[in-house]
Structure 1
């Protein structure tokens, strides 16, 4: 089964149909100084920035935050950058629904908001912080739009407290295809990330938006590197394994939520068995390579567990 999966991934690569949500590829395209113009274009589209509010420059920052106190959880963001006016922005990709994205994004936001604020500094020196979540699943009700933005408001008057907190969620499954020429700026980027376009449509999309073309060209260069390509393939297989573990017990025709919940519990339990093994070995000081050698669990899955437990 794994060989069939790998063959399909390799076939897609040969046909230049890549998964832009693969975090290894995503960080290569959107997390490098030499390609920051691609990231700036995406950020302006995602945040609706234009004119005097447009982001014109960014600096990539260390995406790993140490725990604030012993035994507390540390944080590793997918992409962390600051703008020319020192706004802090975190961009996160979430492939599978772990049922915790609201609290997870608040945790990431709080670490980012406090980062760099030194003892003795005035609270007014804290900079606005923004999280952008690209979700490969539907998190909110079907009636909610593809893009949801949350901030702090007065519940009675609707007045916004301040601009320091913005949480953006893009539910990519809600993207609806239409002629490329009719797509808005943000819809073009959602089309790029959605995995709903074929190769000819992606090429047309690149012709409509020069920065998306740059992103597609960067993906081609990524795949030309055999080491990067192998890491991408292994990551794809690890994500498919996780999806299989968590969804494999679902069957058509569930009559009620109780039966569905039972099936989900079995699937999560199956996946958790492996995660418990990984976590226990990590607690005992084992590195990723040792865990991989002893358990045959992929390096990519081990790294994902390590990331989520820091």
Structure 2
């Protein structure tokens, strides 16, 4: 059993995103199978970060292998990725109708969608399932692939192309030790192509991938902690501000009540015949302030 594992995000990006013909052919096969459209030409934009792909018709695809559950909500995260990808298009001096299609294609090894479909496509629709735009004009899509829904005991001859590729993703680390993998490697051209890419990952190369992967996750976890701490500090500051506003309002109310009582007392003393000087000495107010209170 070999060490390389395609469920590792870095290994996934290496196999499909490296700048070579073999990786590019493997990527075209992957996109053809899971987007269910013929792919003739693709360009990988940034294989070291997100695996961002542009088709020959300028369709943009953000390809993600997401295994680790993070503290934030994954569907919301990928909705943000789609919005960011779609808005990255240069539109100055153009019509909105010239916007190209953008797709976030996500592979999960968990169950997130409450149905039996391994692959689901999400677009803009209303409560009754009515599309906001015509299907041919819908240019924002999230395509999810829930690998955990695969029936791994299903006979190989009954699996479709998507199921075969997912089975390979889940078990490629077993190599020829897995009977289904062995048959696929010997008879399936697409799997043979993927296998050649996986075989290029040496043990030393895999150690480096794992180390890079570890550092990436440590950075993600640190950023998540910092974000959580910042959010907590923000909530505490908001709470403190609300408390301060409450105290300020209470103080203003008390000052207003005290001023009212002073005004009533000054008027009463004046009506009882006290001179302005006597009132001033008693209330610690100057004569002008007393006159204002009396007249108001």
Separation in structure 1 between the aligned mates of residue 29 and residue 41 of structure 2, nearest angstrom = 10
Alpha-carbon offset, residue 194 of structure 1: 2.5
1:26 correspondence with 2:12:
yes
Instruction: Provide structure 2 residue ranges, at least 5 long, that are not aligned to the other structure.
Output: 228-296
RMSD across aligned positions (CA): 2.7
Task: Find the residue that maps to 1:188 and give its secondary structure.
Answer: helix
Q: Of Structure 1 and Structure 2, which has the larger fraction of its residues in helix?
A: 2
Separation in structure 1 between the aligned mates of residue 39 and residue 223 of structure 2, nearest angstrom = 29
Call closer, same or farther: CA 1:159–1:213 in 2, change over 3 Å: same
1:301 correspondence with 2:217:
yes
Match of 2:188 among 209, 217, 235: 209
Separation in structure 1 between the aligned mates of residue 8 and residue 129 of structure 2, nearest angstrom = 42
Aligned residues: 216
Deviations 1:123-182, CA, capped at 9 Å, x for gaps: 2221100111100111123x4322121111344463461320111111111110222232
Residue 5 of structure 1 corresponds to none
Deviations 1:89-125, CA, capped at 9 Å, x for gaps: 1111111223512111111111111224143332222
Deviations 1:54-113, CA, capped at 9 Å, x for gaps: 11110111369xxxxxxxxxxx52x11111111111111111223512111111111111
Residue 151 of structure 2 corresponds to 176
1:114–1:126 Cα contact (<8 Å) kept: no
1:113-192 equivalences in 2 (<5 Å): 113-141=86-114, 143-156=115-128, 158-159=130-131, 161=133, 162-177=137-152, 178-192=154-168
Separation in structure 2 between the aligned mates of residue 209 and residue 120 of structure 1, nearest angstrom = 47
Alpha-carbon offset, residue 209 of structure 1: 2.4
Alpha-carbon offset, residue 307 of structure 1: 8.0
Instruction: Provide structure 1 residue ranges, at least 5 long, that are not aligned to the other structure.
Output: 1-14, 65-75, 239-298
Q: Which of 1 and 2 has greater Rg?
A: 2
Alpha-carbon offset, residue 197 of structure 1: 8.3
Separation in structure 2 between the aligned mates of residue 214 and residue 137 of structure 1, nearest angstrom = 26
1:267-282 equivalences in 2 (<5 Å): none
Call closer, same or farther: CA 1:232–1:144 in 2, change over 3 Å: same
Task: Find the residue that maps to 2:197 and give its secondary structure.
Answer: helix
Deviations 1:214-256, CA, capped at 9 Å, x for gaps: 21221111125x2x221234367x4xxxxxxxxxxxxxxxxxx
2:18–2:47 Cα contact (<8 Å) kept: no
